């Protein structure tokens, strides 16, 4: 407490001085009351307002427990793991050329009947079509004539050898008959070879020698088990040797041919081809399904027009899901890189040139922290700087935190 002594003019009367001092004391009393009540402030909830929320500060976001549950935030610790990158290349499904046959006829002929429809499963030796060929009949006739002439010449030569020993004929006559026999033998062999080229077998020729029956019908047979994927003939038409009548393929195993840009050629490692380098094939017809294959060929030259290299894969196709001419995406995996600091791609938020993640500081407090990132494989991304192993980050729902952080900028 302190005393205030008012300065009063001596000219005032006693009563005037008393009133002046009383008024000054009243004013001073009011000032003291104001100071005392102002320092203590109003009592709690005097106005009915709730206490204000804490101000997290720049780069921090505060959410209540209810808001965290509503946003569906998922928090996971940063961990190290095995990292593999991928590259996707366009490709096309093709039949396995080692199990593909384009069937033609070896002789010109007319189609008598067709027995195999498009899409039919056939076994090796199945009759696909039957042709009639006058050319084949003429070739068999020429073979029988050559065989008959050879038989006559052979007997004549043997008689000449006997007559030469008896000195009935001279050496010149014997040599002439031997020459005729050798010439006819070559002619018969030529006729025989022609029949083999026209599709007859050794068994067919033995039957022809035994029965002397000319067969002008040409069977078209399946060379192996498979499916008829193309048919290009109809009953009654005349077909030439250059025409492709059927295409039979075994589609239980197919090829996928991909094109690799020049810049990505080092990504294909020849020492890992075959079962070593992991390869996946994706097609639009079966989203989410992965087909696994192995690399069987890496191109040695580039296409000068597209500057790409050819890569071929072989895939099992037991359910026949992969169809020739389908477009495919070939995904090639790199060698695994161990002990790499990884975070999910979904945890990263971007704002202009900034990349950041939300680190959980407290159960309801999150920090937006800038990070330096490396390459990504579409699921995980390498962390080069900004995070430590074991720190908890938001891996799902971080966009809600970004909205709270940037406000109207979103």
Do 317 and 266 lie in one domain? The reply is: yes
Report pLDDT digits (tens) over 346-386.
999 998 889 999 999 999 999 999 999 998 888 899 999 99
Nearest C-alpha neighbor of 79 from the set 395, 336, 365, 401: 395
Is residue 386 situated within a structural domain? yes
pTM above 0.85, yes or no: no
Is residue 315 situated within a structural domain? yes
Residue ending a domain, choose from 279, 305, 336: 336
Q: Does position 10 have pLDDT exceeding 80, yes or no?
A: no
Do 312 and 346 lie in one domain? The reply is: no
Q: Does position 39 have pLDDT exceeding 50, yes or no?
A: no
Domain housing 69: 60-83+338-409
pLDDT of residue 257: 95
CA distance 33 to 317: 95
Which residues are CB-neighbours of 81 under 8 A, at least 6 positions away? Answer: 339, 340, 342, 380
**CATH of residue 291:** 2.40.30.170
If you search the block for the tokens 């009947």, which residue do you land on? 113
Nearest C-alpha neighbor of 395 from the set 357, 364, 340: 357
pLDDT of residue 52: 42
Report pLDDT digits (tens) over 43-84.
444 333 344 444 445 689 998 889 888 889 999 999 999 998
Do 366 and 301 lie in one domain? The reply is: no
Is residue 297 situated within a structural domain? yes
pLDDT of residue 369: 94
Report pLDDT digits (tens) over 203-256.
989 999 898 889 898 899 999 999 999 999 999 999 999 999 999 999 999 999
What is the mean predicted confidence (pLDDT) over 15-25?
Answer: 51
pLDDT of residue 84: 86
pLDDT of residue 270: 62
C-alpha torsion angle, residues 140, 141, 144, 150 (rounded to 10): -120
Q: Two tokens at 327?
A: 């477009």
Confidence of residue 277 (pLDDT cuts 50, 70, 90): confident
Do 328 and 346 lie in one domain? The reply is: no
Mean pLDDT across the chain: 84
Least trusted range by pLDDT, from 29-33, 118-122, 293-297, 386-390: 29-33
- CB crowding 167-183: b at 16 or more within 10 Å, else e: eebeeeebeebeebbee
Which residues are CB-neighbours of 61 under 8 A, at least 6 positions away? Answer: 358, 365, 366, 367, 368, 401, 404, 405
Q: Does position 288 have pLDDT exceeding 70, yes or no?
A: yes
pLDDT of residue 48: 38
Do 270 and 332 lie in one domain? The reply is: yes
pLDDT of residue 54: 44
Do 312 and 358 lie in one domain? The reply is: no
Nearest C-alpha neighbor of 133 from the set 103, 104, 111, 102: 111
What is the 8-class DSSP label of residue 43?
Answer: P
Number of domains into which the chain is organized: 3
State the burial class of residue 139 (Cβ atoms within 10 Å of its Cβ: 0-12, 13-18, 19+): buried
Is residue 33 situated within a structural domain? no
CA distance 13 to 15: 6
Q: Two tokens at 254?
A: 């197919």
Q: Does position 18 have pLDDT exceeding 50, yes or no?
A: no
**CATH of residue 372:** 2.40.420.20
Is residue 326 situated within a structural domain? yes
Report pLDDT digits (tens) over 149-163.
999 999 998 888 888
Is residue 396 situated within a structural domain? yes
Q: Two tokens at 6?
A: 């008012």
Residue ending a domain, choose from 314, 336, 358: 336
pLDDT of residue 29: 58
Is residue 69 situated within a structural domain? yes
Q: Two tokens at 43?
A: 């009592």
What is the 8-class DSSP label of residue 102?
Answer: E
pLDDT of residue 333: 83
């Amino acid at each position: 407490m302190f005393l205030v002594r008012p300065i009063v003019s001596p000219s005032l009367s006693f009563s005037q001085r008393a009133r002046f001092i009383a008024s000054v004391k009243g004013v001073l009393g009011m000032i003291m009351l104001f100071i005392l009540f102002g320092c203590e402030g109003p009592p709690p909830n005097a106005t009915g307002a709730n206490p204000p929320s804490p101000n997290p500060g720049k780069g921090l976001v505060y959410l209540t427990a209810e808001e965290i549950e509503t946003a569906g935030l998922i928090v996971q610790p940063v961990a190290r793991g095995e990292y593999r990158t991928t590259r996707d290349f366009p490709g096309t499904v093709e039949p396995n050329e080692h199990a593909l046959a384009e069937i033609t006829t070896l002789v010109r002929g007319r189609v008598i009947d067709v027995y195999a429809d498009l899409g039919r499963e056939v076994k090796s030796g199945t009759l696909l079509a039957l042709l009639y060929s006058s050319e084949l009949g003429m070739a068999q006739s020429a073979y029988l004539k050559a065989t008959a002439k050879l038989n006559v010449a052979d007997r004549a030569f043997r008689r000449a050898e006997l007559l030469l020993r008896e000195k009935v004929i001279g050496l010149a006559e014997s040599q002439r008959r031997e020459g005729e026999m050798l010439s006819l033998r070559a002619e018969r062999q030529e006729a025989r070879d022609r029949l083999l080229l026209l599709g007859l077998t050794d068994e067919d020729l033995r039957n022809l020698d035994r029965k002397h029956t000319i067969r002008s019908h040409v069977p078209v047979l399946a060379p192996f088990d498979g499916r008829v994927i193309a048919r290009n003939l109809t009953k009654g038409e005349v077909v030439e040797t250059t025409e492709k009548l059927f295409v039979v393929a075994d589609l239980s195993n197919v090829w996928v041919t991909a094109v690799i840009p020049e810049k990505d050629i080092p990504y294909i490692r020849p020492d890992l081809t075959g079962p070593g380098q992991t390869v996946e094939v994706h097609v639009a017809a079966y989203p989410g399904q992965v087909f696994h294959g192995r690399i069987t060929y890496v191109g040695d030259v580039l296409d000068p027009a597209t500057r790409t290299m050819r890569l071929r894969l072989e895939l099992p196709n037991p359910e026949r899901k992969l169809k020739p001419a389908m477009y495919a995406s070939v995904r090639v995996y790199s060698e695994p890189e161990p002990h790499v600091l990884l975070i999910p791609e979904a945890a990263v938020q971007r704002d202009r040139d900034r990349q950041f993640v939300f680190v959980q500081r407290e159960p309801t407090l999150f920090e937006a922290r800038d990070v330096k990132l490396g390459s990504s494989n579409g699921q995980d991304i390498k962390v080069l700087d900004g995070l430590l192993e074991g720190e908890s980050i938001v891996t799902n729902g971080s966009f809600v935190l970004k909205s709270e952080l940037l406000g109207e900028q979103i």
